[in-house]
Amino acid sequence: MADFAPKTIEEVKDERTYQRYTEIMATLPRERGFAQDLLYQHQGFWYWDRYLPGVMAVQNHFIAQPSDVLLVSTPKCGTTWLKSLISAICNRKLHPLTQSPLLTVNPHQLVPFLEADLYANNQIPDLDILPSPRLLATHMPYSSLPQSVFDSGCPVVYISRNPKDTFVSMWHFLNKISTKESIMPSTVEEAFEMFCNGASLYGPFWDHVLEYWRASIERPQYVMFLKYEEMQAEALVHVKRLAEFIRCPFSLEEEKEGVVDEIIRLCSFQNLSRLDINKTGQASFGDTHIKFNTFFRKGKVGDWSNYLTPEMIDRLDQISKQKFHGYGLTLY
Ligand code: PAP
Domain boundaries along the sequence of the chain: 27-324
79 lines ligand 1 (CB under 6 A): yes
How far apart are the CA of 228 and the centre of ligand 1, in A?
A: 10
For position 3, what pLDDT does the model report?
55
How far apart are the CA of 80 and the centre of ligand 1, in A?
A: 6
The C-alpha angle 302, 188, 107, rounded to 5 degrees, equals 55
For position 68, what pLDDT does the model report?
98
Average pLDDT over residues 287-299: 93
Which residues neighbour 115 within 8 Å (Cβ) at sequence distance 6 or greater? 51, 54, 55, 57, 58, 138, 139, 140
Chain-centre distance for alpha carbon 52: 15
Confidence class of residue 291 from pLDDT cuts 50, 70 and 90? very high
Q: Is the pLDDT of residue 178 over 80?
A: no
Q: Over the chain, what is the mean pLDDT?
A: 94
Confidence class of residue 8 from pLDDT cuts 50, 70 and 90? confident
- Does domain 27-324 bear CATH number 1.10.3720.10? no
The beta strand positions in 102-203, using DSSP E, are 135-138, 156-160
For position 314, what pLDDT does the model report?
97
Q: Is the pLDDT of residue 189 over 50?
A: yes
Q: Is the pLDDT of residue 98 over 70?
A: yes
What pairing do the DSSP bridges indicate for beta strands 282-285 and 288-291?
Answer: antiparallel
228 in helix, strand or coil? helix
The amino acid at residue 233 is A
Confidence class of residue 1 from pLDDT cuts 50, 70 and 90? very low
Average pLDDT over residues 69-94: 97
Among the ranges given (98-107, 180-189, 206-215), the one the predictor scored with the smallest mean pLDDT = 180-189
Closest Cα partner for 164 from 136, 203, 195, 133? 195
Average pLDDT over residues 204-211: 98
Average pLDDT over residues 30-39: 86
For position 180, what pLDDT does the model report?
57
Confidence class of residue 154 from pLDDT cuts 50, 70 and 90? very high
| Tens-digit pLDDT profile for residues 225-240 | 999 999 999 999 999 9
132: which DSSP letter? Answer: S
Question: What is the 3-state secondary structure of 35-78?
Answer: CCCEEEEECCEEEECCCHHHHHHHHHHCCCCCCCEEEEECCCCC
162 lines ligand 1 (CB under 6 A): no
Q: Is the pLDDT of residue 177 over 90?
A: no
CB hemisphere CA count around 285 (13 angstroms): 21
Nearest atom within ligand 1 for CA of residue 172: 16
For position 287, what pLDDT does the model report?
79
How far apart are the CA of 294 and the centre of ligand 1, in A?
A: 9
Nearest atom within ligand 1 for CA of residue 231: 29
Cβ burial 269-305 (10 Å sphere, 16+ → b, else e):
beebbebebbeebeeebbebebebeebbbebebebbe
Q: Is the pLDDT of residue 46 over 50?
A: yes
Of the chain, the percentage scoring pLDDT greater than 90 comes to: 86
- Residue located nearest, by CA, to atom 22 of ligand 1: 299
Q: Is the pLDDT of residue 7 over 90?
A: no
288 lines ligand 1 (CB under 6 A): no
Q: Is the pLDDT of residue 81 over 50?
A: yes
Confidence class of residue 300 from pLDDT cuts 50, 70 and 90? very high
Which tops the pLDDT comparison, 41 or 184? 41
**Environment class of residue 30 by beta-carbon count within 10 Å: exposed (0-12), middle (13-18) or buried (19+)?**
middle
For position 184, what pLDDT does the model report?
65
